[in-house]
Each structure stands twice: as C-alpha cells, then as structure tokens.
Amino acid sequence: MQRSDFSEDFVWGTATAAYQIEGAVQEDGRGPSIWDTFSRKPGAVLGGDTGDIADDHYHRFREDVALMADLGVNAYRFSIAWTRVQPTGSGPANQAGIDFYRRLADTLGEHGITPWATLYHWDLPQTLEDTGGWLRRDTALRFAEYAGIAVDRLGDAVSDWITLNEPWCSAFLGYASGHHAPGRHEGSRSLHAAHHLLLGHGHAMTAIRAARPDANAGITLNLYSVRPASGTAEDVDAARRIDGLSNRLFLDPVLRGQYPQDVLNDAGEADWFAENATAEDLALISAPIDFLGINYYSRHTVAAGSAATDASAYPGSESAVMIDTGAPRTQMGWEIHPHGMLDVLEMAHERAPELPLYITENGSAYEDEVSENGNVDDPDRLDYLRAHIDACRQAIERGLPLAGYFVWSLMDNFEWAWGYHRRFGIVHVDYDTQVRTPKASGMWFSRFLGGRIGRRSREGVDETVEVA
Ligand code: IFM
C-alpha cells in the first residue's frame, strides 16, 4: 500500500480537540466549560487529571503546526472551544478567543495545511449546563448562535466545518452513564439530549450557510460495526438494540429525516419524540450536508445478557452486553477490526449514495515506553494504522466515496475520564517537559505520506521500526 494508491486530492490529516490539548483554561477571557467542572469532581477523572495545562498547545501551536508540516499531512482537524468564543455560551464574541483560532488557521495556511474546525467537541459552556444543558431545547439555539459567530469571524481562513463531534458520547456518556461531563444519570431522558444535539447541528448548519454560503460543512458521528454473538433471536435482538442506539439513532435523522421507531420504543421515549421532535426539527436535522465525518475505532459483538452490567450508556437496552471475542484489543479494551471500517462506510453510503465520506478519527491507545535513546517504539499502533489505512484503500476500491482520513491523534493528550493515562498520539508528549517526540507510528505515517520525518527516519536517524 502506498500513498499513490489514493487520489492526489485525498485529505490526509491528524485530529485533536480543544480541551484535550490546549490548556490555558483561564487565559484571554475563556469561560469555564463542563469539562473544567467535571474534571474537578473527585473520582471523575483517573488520577484527578484536568485539562488545565494538557499539551500547552495554546502557547505551543506554532511548534505543533511545524511538526504536522514535517509529518507531511495536508489537513488538520482541531476543535474550537465554545467558551473561548462565548465565555458564557451566549452574547458577543470574545475577540481574544477568535484571535487564537485565526493565528492557528493562518499558521496552518503558511505550511500548506488545510484547517478543519469542529465547533463542538464536548466542551459545553458551564453556564448553559447550569440552565439544563443538552436536555434543554434552547441549548440548540445557543449552539447555532455560537456557530454563526465562529463561521462569520473565521470563515475567510477556515472553509471546512464540522458541527458536532460524536453526539452519541455527549448524549449517553454525558447524560446516561455519567462517565463524561456533565456526569448526569438521566436514563432514557438522555435521548432528549441526543435530539437537542442533532437539532443544534441542524440550526448550526443554517447559521453556517448564512455566514458563508460556500463553506464545506458536515457532522461527525462515531459509528460501530455491530454484529450479534450468535444467531439466536435474543442475541440478534440485542445487536439490533446496540446498532440502533449507536448508529441508527444518529444516521437516520441526519440522512433520512426520521428517527428509528424501534429505538424510541425500546427506550420508552416514543411519546416524547412524537410530541417534541417535530417535522420542522427533522427537516432541519436532515438538511443537506456537504460530507459526513465518521470516527471509526472498533466492532461490537453483542449478546443478550441477564443483568444490567456497565451498559447504562444504552438506556432501555441495559441487558445487551458486548462480549470478548478473543480478538486483539487496544489498551482501551476496544477490539481491533479494520474491516469494520468498510461496514460503517457502507452504512452511511446506503443512506446517502452521493455524500462524500471522511474518516475524521481513527487510532489506538497503547502503553508506550520511551526507550533509553529517547525513541518510542509502538509497533501495535503502527500495525493498527496501517491496517485501517489499507481498509480505506479497500473502501475506495469498492467504490465508496471516501475522501479523507484523519489519525486520532496528532499527539498524546487528555483522554477524558482516563486523564493522561491513555496515549493515542503518533507523537509522544512528555507532560513534565512538554517535549514532543514522533513515535515509530508517526515516522511510518510520515514516510507513507512522503513527509520530512519519514525521510529522516529512512536515512537511519531515529529509525526504530522496520516497515514491510
Ligand atoms: O479522545 C477521543 C476523542 O476526543 C473523541 N473520539 C474518540 C477519542 C478516543 O477515545
């Protein structure tokens, strides 16, 4: 597999998110988000870690952009912190916040890297959570106001926009299982949050189009390849439920303008949706997008269980359990199944055959070790990336309209409830010194792309892994 197996205009990027890398949480007027609050709750984040400093990217973004240029990527997906733009979630723009993202976009431009900005990567302004968060319909309107401001003020420097990142996580980890901010346990009411998030996406698309009719805009969903553990009716039904909550609850309204009725019934929310998810809402949610972003990491093999285990992120389907198939897993416990990437691309493609698709995240966490000579040899991550990029190649060969691939993540960062105890970067970060060191996987990616780090490693400097 080589880069030349892909078209010249294929987008090759790395991805990050504001709270995970920026730090500087109290600088230049930034207001508090739900992650500032949640990470301070005892026991919420492993080791009591917070994003206060993270990768200090706010001050080191120039170095990080130069690193990306050396890697050889042609795109960078980052997120804008809502509370840098609107410190309390409404009202006029905070100029200093806008200025930071302009500096970032301009620096990317100087290096020939296209900025891809995500408007919401989970950092809701705390003020909005205090008045109900995503359980409140009005939050969707607040989000659209912020989206309009961001695109109006930055749209001359950024053309590619993603409204939401992984609304499944915001709704179900945030409002059902409570593993993520704001850490609430609202059971099936979390589906209301899902609807308001999607409504926020719909209103935001309208605001984006009004601010910049030529913007390239879409949404990013985290999709899973889901299959039953056996052919029994119980396991098949359990898989239907998990596929419903993970995939169809988001894909169907965005691409087909309707919610999957079976999912609403399972959760006991059919009446609420009949009353509150109006035809106008669904028309907004399904208004044309320019592309769909898909974050793909893993496959779920699902069986019917008897007890509710840790499945409360699946309201109404708590008894469905993910089983361990014995296949290799990453440090997150996520099964490695590159072929599943084709499954999720197919899922989107069958609903919207003309829509360009992007893998906006794909990557893996492993226990990396820095060797005595300072190298980080991460053969498992390298294999993971290579296999998934090869799955991209196969998808294109199959005729799927895949137009780009972003590695999660550029560099190690704050992995939410896992704090700094899980590393996804292709670049290692020493959190004491903030030194960045490309891992063997990063060198491989750079070599694959024809980047400078790849050339250096080919000459023998820093070479730690033989690539077939
Ligand atoms: O770190 C996250 C990212 O913020 C969203 N997608 C999954 C990644 C790995 O868990």
What are the structural domain ranges in the chain?
Answer: 3-457
Determine the average pLDDT of the residues in 212-230. 98
- The predicted pLDDT at position 311 comes to 47
The type of residue at 161 is W
Q: If pLDDT is split at 50, 70 and 90, which confidence band does 351 have?
A: very high
User: In whole angstroms, what is the distance from residue 220 CA to residue 358 CA?
Assistant: 9
User: In whole angstroms, what is the distance from residue 385 CA to residue 232 CA?
Assistant: 34
- Give the position, in ligand 1's atom list, of the atom nearest the Cα of 17: 4
* Atom 9 of ligand 1, nearest CA residue: 415
Tell me, in angstroms, the distance from the centre of ligand 1 to residue 266's CA.
Answer: 27
User: In whole angstroms, what is the distance from residue 81 CA to residue 85 CA?
Assistant: 7
Burial 96-121 (b: 16+ CB within 10 A, else e): ebbebbbebbebbeebebbbbbbbbb
* Atom 1 of ligand 1, nearest CA residue: 415
Q: Is 375 exposed, middle or buried (0-12, 13-18, 19+ CB in 10 A)?
A: buried
- Give the position, in ligand 1's atom list, of the atom nearest the Cα of 121: 4
Tell me, in angstroms, the distance from the centre of ligand 1 to residue 91's CA.
Answer: 29
Q: If pLDDT is split at 50, 70 and 90, which confidence band does 306 have?
A: confident
Phi first, then psi, for residue 359 (nearest 5°) are -85, 105
- Give the position, in ligand 1's atom list, of the atom nearest the Cα of 413: 1
Q: Provide the angle, in degrees to the nearest 10, between the axes of the packed helices 440-449 and 379-397.
A: 30
* Closest C-alpha among 424, 292, 421 to residue 362: 424
- Give the position, in ligand 1's atom list, of the atom nearest the Cα of 408: 8
Q: If pLDDT is split at 50, 70 and 90, which confidence band does 457 have?
A: low
Determine the average pLDDT of the residues in 217-242. 98
Q: Is the CB of residue 221 less than 8 Å from the CB of residue 197? A: no
Tell me, in angstroms, the distance from the centre of ligand 1 to residue 415's CA.
Answer: 7
* Atom 2 of ligand 1, nearest CA residue: 415
Beta strands in 323-383, from DSSP E residues, in sequence order: 357-361
What is the token pair recorded at 281?
Answer: 């809402």
Percent of the residues in the chain that have a pLDDT greater than 70, as a whole number = 96
Mutate to test the pocket of ligand 1, among 222, 223, 424, 429 (most ligand atoms within 8 A of CB): 424
| Mean pLDDT for all residues in the chain | 96
Q: If pLDDT is split at 50, 70 and 90, which confidence band does 70 have?
A: very high
Tell me, in angstroms, the distance from the centre of ligand 1 to residue 223's CA.
Answer: 12
Task: Give CA 94 to chain center in angstroms.
Answer: 25
- The predicted pLDDT at position 459 comes to 56
State yes or no: pLDDT of 107 exceeds 50: yes
The type of residue at 293 is G
Tell me, in angstroms, the distance from the centre of ligand 1 to residue 275's CA.
Answer: 33
Binding pocket residue ranges, ligand 1, CB within 6 Å: 17, 20, 166, 295, 361, 408, 415, 424
Mutate to test the pocket of ligand 1, among 79, 179, 329, 409 (most ligand atoms within 8 A of CB): 409
The answer to whether the peptide bond before residue 438 is cis (omega within 30 degrees of 0) is no
- Give the position, in ligand 1's atom list, of the atom nearest the Cα of 361: 6
Q: Which residues pair with 161 in a beta bridge?
A: 117, 217
State yes or no: pLDDT of 300 exceeds 60: yes
**Catalytic residue numbers, as ranges:** 166, 361
What is the token pair recorded at 162?
Answer: 């993603």
Mutate to test the pocket of ligand 1, among 416, 418, 420 (most ligand atoms within 8 A of CB): 416
Q: pLDDT tens digits, residue range 117-141?
A: 999 999 999 999 999 999 999 999 9
Tell me, in angstroms, the distance from the centre of ligand 1 to residue 17's CA.
Answer: 9
Residue whose entry in the numeric block shows the structure tokens 């190690």 = 412
CATH 3.20.20.80 describes domain 3-457: yes
Tell me, in angstroms, the distance from the centre of ligand 1 to residue 40's CA.
Answer: 20
State yes or no: pLDDT of 115 exceeds 50: yes
Cα–Cα distances in Å, from 258 out to 251, 282, 457? 9, 7, 51
Determine the average pLDDT of the residues in 93-117. 98
- The predicted pLDDT at position 455 comes to 76
What is the token pair recorded at 67?
Answer: 């690193």
- The predicted pLDDT at position 468 comes to 32
* Closest C-alpha among 409, 413, 432, 412 to residue 50: 413
- How many angstroms separate the first and last alpha carbons of the chain? 10
Q: If pLDDT is split at 50, 70 and 90, which confidence band does 310 have?
A: low
